Chain A
Amino acid sequence: MVTYIFRRILQSILVLLVVGLVAFAMFTFIGDPIDNMLGQERTQEDIDRLRGVLGLDQPFVVQYVKFVISAMQGNFGVSYEQGRPVAQILAERAPATLELAAVSALFALSLGVVLGVYTAIHRKGFVANLVLTLSLIGVSLPTFLIGILLIYLFSVQLDWLPSFGRGETVDLGGWTTGFLTSSGMRALILPSITLGLYQMTLIMRLVRSEMMEVMRQDYIRFARARGLSERAITFRHALKNTMVPVITVTGLQLGSLIAFAIITETVFQWPGMGLLFINAIKFVDIPVMAAYLMLISVMFVGINLIVDLLYVSIDPRLRT
């Protein structure tokens, strides 16, 4: 088991190094940072001096190692567009995205699992079929359309909830939260539904199909033949076995919420990292793009490690 986890950690580090390489390659090969940082009036002397300062005259590998080291210290360079350190910009934006993603994850996970189990048990039921059909519509509706629809309904027509922004926030020493004010909470409702709905339908459909798969297994037939109640079969035998594959995919899904927030944040003008990233793409602001990429992969690797640990705790076959 120790080997298993140790190997996963090694793999995670490898993943981060590869992502770092991609991010670094973006720096090096796309656009010339000198062009971006110096204005029109520049001398060859200026260019050479800046090259030296930035270390651009050193071999690729050395530059990459330096990049990794400074990235580990949270130093991602300076935004071409805003002229401020990228780390500082990201730190300002992170709380908005993380709070949004957390609420969405909670919503997607709880409703997704409950509905998935329900539709798997009542396969032929009317409600189950209705939920399934609605879920396919949910999968087919692009996130941005869901957002627009919700805004139209609850902001424009009913005027119940705000259509953009975070509402009032409270600054808790560098972390601005919307959880502590009623306007902040109200502002969270529509964006988190928008962000979580797609993941919710995915989780629900996955739980349902895995559960139906498990229900066909021999050990379920044998459990039935031994006279166990349907309740015990469903919740003790089937659900636990369903969770093994579901956890992996769910981990991936929840990780992708942070990235998917780009779309939601655009629709709701939510001042998070996603909105920052989409602007960075439009302005080809490579340092911001690269830093965002690294940040996402760190979070992802973290979530994957937690998933692996959960795995071990559920499946005894991994413990030996």
Chain B
Amino acid sequence: MGLLDITDLTVEFPTRRRLFTAVDALNLKVNPGEIHGLVGESGAGKSTVGAAVMGLLDPPGRIAKGNIVFKNQLVDTSDGAVMHALRGRRISMIFQDPLTSLNPLLTIGDQLTETIRANLQVSASDADGRARELLDRVGIPDPDSRLNQYPHQFSGGMRQRVVIALALCSEPDVIIADEPTTALDVAIQAQILDLIRDVVDERKVGVILITHDMGVIANTTDRVTVMYRGKVVETGPTAKILSAPEHAYTQSLIAAVPRPHKKVHRFPRINYDGDDPDFAIEDLARDWPRYDNAPGKPLLSVRDLTKRFIEKRSLLPWGNRYFTAVDQLSFDIMPGEVLGLVGESGSGKSTVARMIAGLYKVDGGRVTFDGDLVSDLSNRKVQRAYRQEIQMIFQDPFSSLNPRMRVDQIVAEPLRHHRLLSGQDIPDRVGELLEQVGLGADARLKYPHEFSGGQRQRIAIARALATQPRFLICDEPTSALDVSIQAQILNILKDLQDHLGLTILFISHALPVVRQMCDRVAVMRRGQIVELADSEQLFTAPKHDYTKELLRLTPRTENMFEKPEA
């Protein structure tokens, strides 16, 4: 018997239209000193498992069936008193977002001692000492003064350490960690995962690590359970599942993970549930305009680009404190090239994209496109021409399409605005575009909420291609998508570049993705480029220490199963 044994767990959410089964007859066993990964794409039901075990299901969710056995004792999750005795004392939980997990109005010390005293029968001064010990244990320097501080005085990584300290307050036997590093940068992610590993080894607790990230699974877990639409498709030791998965879904899921150590031509087609429609790139390429580009002359050129934001507003305008988000940045993009811009959050990469796109005013420097100065927003003639030449694919396909507009209105907006077509030609062209991105012409009468994330990103691509632009900015185009959808979208972007000769600025925080997409890569840190090199060279022989550090911290996936390319 394991520490925690979940058998036949079924969780249902009755809605008015149907009964939604979020978790379907799940079995899961956690042993002491073991990290058990629970992996799946969005909607797989993995977080629901965690909430069900803790008795924290949001209404109207309910456990329809199944047993949860903790230390050989059957747990009745419907019994409030039983759950209260278990929660926090024997089973703890870590949530995804350290920003919202801590009460902003209480000091860290208050929140720790309160939790310690709620769970262990100790005096106030003992609790205080224990709080100090815990902060020290999770690697927070100077715990004495830190205890009296409030959450907003901690950085994101430090806050997640505090959250872990809170979860450890009562020496729990099991910790459920729900996407504990998803909101963090790669460097912090590695530290937090190391910390969890240390705690497990030291105290022999069992951990259920819920994540969507195969890299995290590969580097941290001992065993893994793969979920798909509420059901377990495969479970076993991590090394075995990752190198030799048996189930077709696991195989396709692992094959779709971008590898940092080598570039693939195209990702293998994942057709597990048939949601990978064809993208008719040849049709699109047939009447795409061709440009004669002077060789060696950049299409887009950025010189000394600078942006400052007000950090702290003062009483008087000239007393404001500024924060330099982008600091005298210069680079060129050649016609037909994909340039990657990579960096951690706050490095200024998205700000660069928005300045090039003319969404932010530049505070210094200039941007020229095909010889025209486009960073001067007041030159209407140049701006109007430039707007037809560039387009952008955004991060979140749930926010980049206006929910109150029909798909045909969305795709037609650029055509109408630039008066490229008129009359019946507009709906005809919209229908063609939607066919070409693989959605079918009847998609045009629907609203965005009727589509999945991948389909929405295709609509966004159709809109971006409507004016037949020469230059495409992709701002984290796949970071909000599941890994299988990410593979589809990346394949489409590769096609666009190969067949249409599009020039692309590709922005991402994920090094493996950048390696798959880009010809050259610029690494950004604190508003500056620390290294700019050919992609293969940068990944195989990085020069700058920061680049080396980023590459070192990226989860290793070399020994993962690889499906031959389609």
A residues lining the B interface (CB < 8 Å): 3, 6-7, 10, 217-219, 221-229, 232, 236-237, 240-241, 244, 314-317, 320
Contacts and interface: CB of A to CB of B under 8 A. Distances in A.
Nearest to A240: B105
B118 interface: yes
A215 to B, nearest CB: 12
Contact of A316 (B87, B97, B114, B152): B152
B87 A219 contact: no
Interface of B: 54, 56, 84, 87-89, 92-93, 95, 97, 100-107, 114-115, 118-119, 150, 152-153, 163, 166-167, 169-170, 314-315
A232 B115 CA distance: 10
A320 B119 CA distance: 33
A25 to B, nearest CB: 29
Q: Secondary structure at chain A's binding surface: helix, strand, loop or mixed? A: helix
A241 B87 CA distance: 23
- Top 9 nearest A-B pairs (CB, nearest first) are A227-B88, A218-B100, A225-B93, A226-B88, A316-B150, A219-B103, A227-B87, A222-B101, A226-B115
A6 B315 CA distance: 9
A217 B106 CA distance: 15
Given A222-B102, A226-B115, 18 more contacts: A7-B315, A218-B100, A221-B56, A222-B163, A224-B56, A225-B56, A225-B87, A226-B92, A226-B93, A226-B118, A226-B169, A227-B89, A227-B170, A241-B105, A315-B104, A316-B152, A317-B150, A320-B153
Contacts of A224: 56, 87
10 contacts: A3-B314, A218-B97, A221-B56, A226-B93, A227-B84, A228-B114, A241-B104, A316-B104, A316-B107, A316-B152
Nearest to B115: A226
Contacts of A217: 100
A227 B118 CA distance: 7
B376 to A, nearest CB: 35
B118 A221 contact: no
Nearest to B112: A226
A218 B315 CA distance: 35
B119 A227 contact: yes
Contacts of B169: 226
B100 A225 contact: no
A98 B526 CA distance: 57
B312 to A, nearest CB: 9
A218 B87 CA distance: 16
Contacts of A229: 84, 118
Contacts of B115: 226-228
Contacts of B163: 222
Contacts of B314: 3
Given A222-B166, A240-B105, A316-B150, A3 B315 contact: yes
